Amino acid sequence: MQSLQEKLAAYEAEIRGFKPADATELEAFRIRFLGTKGIVKALFGDMKHVPAEQRKQAGQMLNSFKELAESCFETQAAQVQNEQTPNGAASDDSSLPGPLLPNGTRHPLRVVENRIVSIFERMGFSEATGPEIEDDWHNFNSLNMPADHPARDMQDTFYLSQNPDWMLRTHTSSVQARILEKGTLPVRVICPGRVYRNETISARAHCFFHQCEGLYVDEGVSFADLKQTLYYFVTEMFGAETKVRFRPSYFPFTEPSAEMDISCTVCGGKGCSLCKQTGWVEILGCGMVHPNMLRNFNLDPERYTGFAFGMGVERITQIKFRVNDLRLYSQNDLRFLKQFEAL
């Protein structure tokens, strides 16, 4: 105990007489007394050698010593700062150029969405948007999905305030319905936007995601027009060497309907985890607009025909940039986003 008191008395005298000439000496003081391997840390470490009956008194002495060292450092730090900035003037020279700000990045989903829209705009499509809160008519009924239609079971819908007439839209097809409702033909639109479905969040599913859907209605529109439009899109998005195939499918608002696959851009069609060893990757659904949907908007299906298609932006982004977890898109992790800084 006597030895500890003598050490503390000597250190306290040193601290009280400390007057740093500059910031370098001040930092040396901090490291010597308050650093991770400094005197205060070492003295507390020696407490294990103090007899049990004396530890309380020794602890009080060390706490007082630590407070003295910290107080001295803070006081001297303020003094050094005042000496460097006399009369409280700012130390920065306002005439000098400001610091360079880091470059921002576009979100990968936005990059891909803009690319999709740009490709279809070059083919004469106009971009169209609509509300994310929709009524039952535009989201379901007008799209050939009445209340008892089994296709409604395929979409887990977020209803608002227990009111089945209002919901978060489950697809951007509702935008197509609003465009047709205006009755101005021909219609040739691409509809990007966020949609919502009540699904469990995982690496392969999310409760919200993004779609781009297209619609073309006019006299004499055929399935050949649909195929040629999508061939051009695939060539522009994935390259001229990408192969395409169509498979029969079912959608309530198109007839006939198909799903379109492309040859896997990762393995070149040889088989990998992305294409599940098949060599093919599904990217969108499509088909000819169902006559019932045209009738819902007072359009004569004997005179007018059209095609529609829809793709998930996350799906296209996954293929383009090999992102294997949907949750990454909405976590705002700068480490992930900075990978797309050059886009």
DSSP assignment of 84-118? HSGGG--SS-TTSPPPPPPPP---HHHHHHHHHHH
pLDDT reported for residue 118: 96
pLDDT reported for residue 115: 96
Token pair recorded at residue 182: 């205006």
Would 102 be classed as within a structural domain? no
Would 103 be classed as within a structural domain? no
Q: Cα 150 to the chain's mean position, in Å?
A: 33
Residues 123 and 78 in one domain: no
d(CA 264, CA 37): 58
Count the residues in the chain. Answer: 343
pLDDT reported for residue 342: 74
Would 32 be classed as within a structural domain? yes
Residues 255 and 151 in one domain: yes
Residues 219 and 332 in one domain: yes
Range of the domain at 42: 2-88
Residues 40 and 147 in one domain: no
The whole-model pTM stands at 0.69
The rounded average pLDDT for each run of 10 residues, N- to C-terminus, in the chain (343 residues) is: 76 84 86 86 82 82 87 85 61 76 86 96 96 93 83 76 84 95 93 93 89 96 96 95 94 94 86 85 95 94 96 93 89 87 76
Q: What is the CATH number of the domain that holds 114?
A: 3.30.930.10
Would 50 be classed as within a structural domain? yes
Residues 155 and 275 in one domain: yes
Residues 45 and 179 in one domain: no
Q: What's the total number of domains in the chain?
A: 2
pLDDT reported for residue 84: 66
CA distances from 128 to 49, 189, 223 (A): 78, 6, 23
d(CA 333, CA 214): 31
Going by C-alpha positions, the residue among 214, 210, 215 that lies closest to residue 196 is 210
Would 253 be classed as within a structural domain? yes
Would 44 be classed as within a structural domain? yes
d(CA 182, CA 273): 45
Residues 138 and 287 in one domain: yes
Residues 72 and 171 in one domain: no
Would 97 be classed as within a structural domain? no
Residues 47 and 128 in one domain: no
d(CA 123, CA 232): 9
pLDDT reported for residue 85: 62
- 285-296: b (≥16 Cβ within 10 Å) or e: bbbbbbbebbeb
pLDDT reported for residue 45: 82
pLDDT reported for residue 151: 66
Would 94 be classed as within a structural domain? no
